């Protein structure tokens, strides 16, 4: 009955998707709190620590330089493709993602709001210039020839959703970092660190999307962090239905109109197939009436 109700809600259109790390696990990127993420989370880099000293930045960029390879090798899965197709059909009116992996866009989705930024960009904290991550990657490779291959073989492919590979301090001390090629300033990934605020205009855009939604569809997020949960709270306050598809419990299960504990790719694939004729007709016996 749960899938039928979800199909009916989506068939009404004006769906705003709020996605989390669980949507990308089938692309080989582990989440933080689900089955693939347990005991994998190392101490996260905070914004304050990153600004506080070169050694913290060295640790971050060494781990991220290695983790970047895992993320760039990931491909969109059935869940990402289903969201992009629902948008193409006019049923999804907006996408808010807590992920920084760019897989929604790689699947063909348009105008995705990256709540926490994207790892494919780098920003200079001095002059504000934004540059592609591939450019920085090439500079780091030149400054650390052979390091990624050597350390990658030693530590394996353990990487978190934010691109943070699990690299021990013994592999970090000789890693060379680089500064902005334009002004010599400190380079930072264009993502939101712990202890850093999401820019207010971005938050306001997400609230505006939520307020105009016919349905808020949460995909692959436990909603533990307030950053994403606040949009569920706003939808509930406005009387907008909330549907959740996630593996494992979430913070908003009791508030949701429907909450499915199910694999994302298979569930969204089945849902998409069922919406292929006319709305939810193939999934709901007798259609919508």
Catalytic residue set: 116
Does 180 belong to an annotated binding site?
yes
Residue 101 assigned to a binding site: yes
Tell whether residue 197 is among the known ligand binding residues.
Answer: no
Q: How far apart are CA 34 and CA 31, in angstroms?
A: 6
Asked whether residue 98 is marked as a ligand-binding residue, the answer is yes
Other beta carbons less than 10 A from residue 226's beta carbon:
9
254 annotated as ligand-binding? no
199 marked as binding residue: no
User: What is the C-alpha separation between 8 and 178, in angstroms, rounded?
Assistant: 52
36 in a known ligand binding site: yes
In the chain, the largest separation of any two C-alpha atoms, in whole Å, equals 68
- Is 212 among the annotated ligand-binding positions? no
Strand partners, 187: 124
Residue 67: Cβ within 10 Å count: 24
**Residue 6 buriedness (CB in 10 A; 0-12 / 13-18 / 19+):** buried
- Find out whether 248 is annotated in a ligand binding site: yes
Q: Is 183 annotated as belonging to a binding site?
A: yes
206 annotated as belonging to a binding site for a ligand = no
Residue by residue, DSSP assigns 206-254 as HHHHHHT-SEEEEES----SHHHHHHHHHHHHHT--EEEEESS--TTTT
Q: Check the annotation: does 26 bind a ligand.
A: yes
Residues at the annotated binding site for NAD(+)? 20-40, 98-101, 220-222, 246-248, 264
Binding-site residues for Zn(2+), please?
A: 124, 127, 180, 183
Report the binding-site residues: 20-40, 98-101, 124, 127, 180, 183, 220-222, 246-248, 264
């Amino acid at each position: 009955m749960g899938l039928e109700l979800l199909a009916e809600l989506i068939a009404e259109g004006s769906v705003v998707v709020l996605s989390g790390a669980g949507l990308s696990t089938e692309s080989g990127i582990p989440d933080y709190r689900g089955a693939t993420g347990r005991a994998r989370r190392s101490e996260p880099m905070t914004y304050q620590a990153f600004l506080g000293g070169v050694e913290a930045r060295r640790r971050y960029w060494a781990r991220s330089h290695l983790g970047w390879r895992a993320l760039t090798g990931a491909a969109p899965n059935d869940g990402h493709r289903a969201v992009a197709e629902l948008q193409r059909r006019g049923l999804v009116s907006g996408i808010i993602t807590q992920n920084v992996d760019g897989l929604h866009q790689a699947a063909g989705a348009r105008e995705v709001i990256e709540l926490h930024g994207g790892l494919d960009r780098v920003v200079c904290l001095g002059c504000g210039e934004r540059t592609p991550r591939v450019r920085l990657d090439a500079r780091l490779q030149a400054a650390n020839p052979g390091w990624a291959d050597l350390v990658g073989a030693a530590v394996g492919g353990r990487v978190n959703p934010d691109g943070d590979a699990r690299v021990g301090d013994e592999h970090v001390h000789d890693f060379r970092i680089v500064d902005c090629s334009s002004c010599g300033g400190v380079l930072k990934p264009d993502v939101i660190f712990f202890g850093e605020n999401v820019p207010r205009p971005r938050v306001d855009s997400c609230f505006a999307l939520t307020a105009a939604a016919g349905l808020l569809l949460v995909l692959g997020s436990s909603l533990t962090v307030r950053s994403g949960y606040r949009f569920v709270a706003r939808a509930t306050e406005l009387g907008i239905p909330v549907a959740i598809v996630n593996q494992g419990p979430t913070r908003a299960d009791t508030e949701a109109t429907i909450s499915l504990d199910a694999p994302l790719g298979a569930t969204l694939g089945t849902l998409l197939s069922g919406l292929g004729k006319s709305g939810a007709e193939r999934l709901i016996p007798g259609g919508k009436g």
